[in-house]
Chain A
Amino acid sequence: MNLGLSKTLVQRGLSAHAAIGLLASALLYIVCLTGTVTVFYEEWQRAERPDAPEMQRIAPDAVQRAVASVLASEKDRKATEHLYVHLPTDALPRTTVTTDHQAVHVDDQGRVVAKELNGWSEFLLNLHYTLNIPGMVGLTIVGGLGVMTIALSLTGLIAHPRIFRDAFRLRARDRGGLGLADWHNRLGVWTLPFALAIALTGAMIGLGSINVYGLAQGFYKGDMEAAYAPIFGAEGKPNAKPAPLADVAAALQTMTARFPEVRPIYVFMHEPGTAGQQLQVLALPQRRLVYGETYNFDQAGRFLGTVGLADGATGQQVAASAYNLHFGNYGGLPVKIAYLLLGGALCVVIATGTSIWLGKRERRGYRQPRLRNGWNAIVWGSGLALALTLLARLWIGNAAPFKTIFWLSLAVLVVLSTALPERYRVRRALQWSLGICVAALVPAVLGG
């Protein structure tokens, strides 16, 4: 298949592809790398806290006891506004209660047994979501990188009109840049459906805040919650008057009796222990992309209705499908492994893109060893910096300053790599260092 584009358009497509790539590639590579590692978010949490009690299911009464016990332990603090109970799933067979103040694991009797310690997993997720930049800014930048990925995919097709025709040719061994170009183009073409799906859903998630702000200003008198409500449902009216704790056990029993085909995975309580408290159960339907359906209950645990994420308006179902499609947690371990490989391939596409551009300049006589070393530091140094944070998790513990370690070590690696004279083999040194770190990590992570 040849796209039949004019030479001028192809040349402009290449310029546009290179412009976007060079502008976004460093941050895009970090987001893509961390996204690939984040596919195993649940497994990382298990590795971080291997001694937490695990179970295939938990009895409704035990969940009720756990909620009551956690809230009782917070009597001397400001009342929590939200409480979440993570129920056992295949990927994370644990029960964890999270409030505004703490997160604890409970055993199958509902007894609090251990504090949740998943600082590294949370750091990793935050790095992927926001590049550790607080507030809307980080999220919007990452959303913008999703947009740039879509633009890169489109301009890549324009810049390479023979890309489909050569889709199965891969001269893997590099010779004068040919192998590198083949890796970039072949992996680029075959990751295209994945890249577009990931980029669009990622952009939708990342740009959600400013888009909903726009929706709120345009159609909901500035009320952002009102803009979200038609999609994800509305929160009830708060009423701080004390009231008995909602009957979580009755709600879970109702779920088992009335909806045996779905698996409850979360219990949400808003303003627990007040007259305005709201009780919801998030349950996962089989063979769906949606992250779940929200079942609403009254304080006595009587079923009120669903929000419609699984069977409501098309928009609700599409929005609820974006998250699982993005993170690859809709088909168990096989899909996670597929996402790991596809994410890895996307990292290779990004890494080789800038290397190809540098190689072309070198072949035309414009050698830029510092720029090349700097790019090598991004490609290999990002993985190395991430590995260092995980080593810090093992040696220092949950309270290790992961953000500082990651960004500081990456900055040092980039500065050192660009400053060192050309005779130093920066890439080889970074590859060896990464290899040693990974070799040190594998037994520790797999062995718990």
Chain B
Amino acid sequence: MNQPSLLLWTSALLAAAAVCLLRFSWGKALRSAPLNAAAWGLLAFALAMGMAGAGAWGVAMVTLAALAMAFSCLALAAATAPPGKTGASNRRAHMLPEGQEPLRIGGRMVSFLLSVPGAMLVALILGLAARGAAGALGAHEADGNVLMLFLMPLLWAVLAMLILLWPQRRRQVGLLAAPALLGLAMLWMARP
């Protein structure tokens, strides 16, 4: 076995061991901060070893090894755990009206428009602004373009989440308007 392979196998085993340590630590009646830190540290070390051994490919493989171990632990729990004694949570998600509550179709439509097309548009503007800023700072053209391609969906997800977390309509609109204006200003400054 050559050195990169050895490094990779070792890091995969360490990642699996880190998950076992987490399982042990989280299974204790009282949480142990040192054990938790040791488990997370071991996992981080394993990922770093994977990176050193085979770059992003190594990180992906080590992550899969950790997940395989976690699912093995889960399978064991599924096979051995007795049925729960308490009932499941009945927390309301407030998605549909109950009893005489109004349906609020209009409000729901506005929430949809703000969090789906609205947030998408703002994320697109911000992504393009980031591309412009990257170009102005001397980044490689490919880096700027790919930054935009990845940033846009991430920003869209975060904006959609924040809109839904903030029920006040004025705040929601502000959440979209402020970054959109900032992004447009940055785009105007970075225009070719």
Q: Which residues of A line the B interface, CB within 8 A?
A: 1, 9, 11-20, 22-23, 143-144, 146-148, 150-151, 154-155, 158, 164-165, 167-182, 186-187, 190-191, 193-194, 200, 203-204, 207-208, 210-212, 214-215, 218-219, 227, 230-231, 287-289, 308, 312-316, 318-319, 321, 325, 330-331, 335, 338, 341-342, 345, 356-357, 359-361, 363-364, 366
Contacts of B88 in A (CB 8 A): 176-178, 180-181, 356, 359-360, 363
Contact assessment for B165 and A360 in the assembled complex, using a CB-CB cutoff below 8 Å: no
CB of B146 within 8 Å of the partner chain: yes
Secondary structure at the A interface, as helix, strand, loop or mixed, is helix
Give the residues in chain A near B31, CB-CB below 8 Å: 165
Number of A-B contacts (CB under 8 A): 229
Closest to A345 in B: B71
Residue in A169, A190, A359 whose beta carbon sits within 8 Å of that of B81 in the complex: A169
Could you tell me if A14 and B93 are in contact, using CB atoms closer than 8 angstroms? yes
Q: Is the CB of B149 within 8 A of A204?
A: yes
Partner of B74, one of A1, A13, A168, A230: A168
Do the beta carbons of A171 and B84 come within 8 Å of each other?
yes
- Identify the interface centre among B54, B98, B149: most chain A CB within 10 Å of its CB: B149
Q: Is B118 an interface residue (CB 8 A)?
A: no
Chain B residues with CB under 8 A of A151:
157-158, 160-161
Q: Would you give the shortest CB distance from A171 to chain B, in whole angstroms?
A: 4
Set of chain B residues within 8 Å of A19, measured between Cβ atoms: 93, 95, 111, 164
Residues of B within 8 A of A345 (CB): 71
Q: How far is the CA of A176 from the CA of B4 in the complex (A)?
A: 50
Neighbour of A325 across the interface among B60, B84, B124, B161, CB < 8 A: B60
**Whole-angstrom distance between the alpha carbons of A163 and B49 in the complex?**
28
- A321 touching B165 in the complex, CB below 8 Å, given contacts A147-B153, A175-B84, A231-B142: no
Interface residues on B, range: 35 or more
B56 CB → nearest A CB, Å: 5
Which residues of B have CB within 8 Å of A146?
A: 153
**Whole-angstrom CA separation of A23 from B114 in the bound complex:** 14
Picked from B27, B94, B120, the residue with its CB within 8 Å of the CB of A15 is B94
Measured CB to CB, the nearest residue on chain A to B75 is A170
Among residues of A, the one whose C-beta sits closest to the C-beta of B87 is: A176
Among residues of A, the one whose C-beta sits closest to the C-beta of B146 is: A315
CA distance A175 to B63 in the complex (A): 33
| Residue in chain B with minimal CB distance to A362 | B90
- Minimum CB–CB distance from B147 to chain A (whole Å) comes to 7
Interface contact A186-B74, CB-CB below 8 Å: yes
Q: How far is the CA of A169 from the CA of B83 in the complex (A)?
A: 11
| A–B pairs, 8, beta carbons within 8 Å | A1-B36, A13-B165, A211-B152, A215-B148, A231-B146, A314-B140, A357-B95, A360-B90
Known: A150-B157, A313-B143, A315-B142. 6 other contacts (CB 8 A): A12-B167, A147-B120, A171-B82, A204-B150, A214-B124, A313-B142
CA gap between A154 and B130 in the complex, in Å: 23
Cβ contact within 8 Å between A289 and B92 = no
Q: Mark B58-93, 1 if CB is under 8 A from A, else 0.
A: 101101100110110110011101111011111111
CB <8 Å contact, A144 and B120: yes
Chain B residues lying within 8 Å of A335, measured Cβ to Cβ, are 61, 64
Contact, CB under 8 Å: A168 / B161: no
Taken together as a complex, chains A and B put the C-alpha atoms of A158 and B22 apart, in Å, by: 21
User: Once the chains bind, are B153 and A190 in contact (CB under 8 Å)?
Assistant: no
Smallest distance from the beta carbon of B179 to chain A beta carbons, Å? 16
Q: Is the CB of A363 within 8 A of B149?
A: no
Contact between B26 and A167, CB atoms less than 8 A apart: yes
A245 to B175, CA, bound (A): 58
Shortest Cβ distance from A133 into chain B, in angstroms? 16
Q: In the complex, which residues of chain B have a beta carbon less than 8 angstroms from the beta carbon of A315?
A: 140, 142-147
